[in-house]
Amino acid sequence: MEETPAMANQQAATDLSPASSAWRAWLQEHGPKLLLFSRQQTRSHEDAQDVFQDALVKLAEKLRSGEFVGGQEAWMPYLYTAIRRLAIDLSRKDDRRKKREDHVSADFEADQRETFHPWFEGESTDDETRSQLESSLKELPDKFSEVITLKIWGEQTFADIGQTLGISQNTAASRYRYGLEALKKQLSGARRRGDFSI
């Protein structure tokens, strides 16, 4: 009886079972190369091991279900591709999680600073002036006020601000300039109304 592709895949699935000596021999020969590749694709040794293991599980599932096309010689290319894709997915997931955590952390720190430390401190700055400056800054559109805050109080460069906000350095600089102009107009209006004097 001639062996069909389905029979070959079934045999490969049997060979791939962890108890199989053929699988252990194959993994012993090729595992270190695959793990090294996984380390190059990920940010930590633990992530590399997880990605490597997930790729092996994907291969085993495809072989057991009969979906895998090709014989044992196609395992390595498949695993290299699977490792690369899994590493990219993990990296994206980690980046999204880090952005969420950084955003929450930044919000918390901002709330703490705002609650316990006034923005403007100094012997010549009275409470009324400080309050007016703070409220004027809060009235600006967020895209301007956040750049001003990062530049003046965060002491960041426009390049740093651009990276933080996901905008170009030039956009950060122009938002800073436009924000200061808008703030100046608000404060001039308040001065004319006699709300405060600087």
Domains and CATH numbers, the chain: 5-97 (1.10.1740), 118-193 (1.10.10.10)
* Entry pTM: 0.45
3-state helix, strand, coil in the chain (%, to 5): 80, 0, 20
User: In 3D, which of 74, 91, 77 has the Cα closest to residue 33?
Assistant: 77
More confident residue, 19 or 147: 147
d(CA 60, CA 67): 10
pLDDT of 113 > 50? The answer is yes
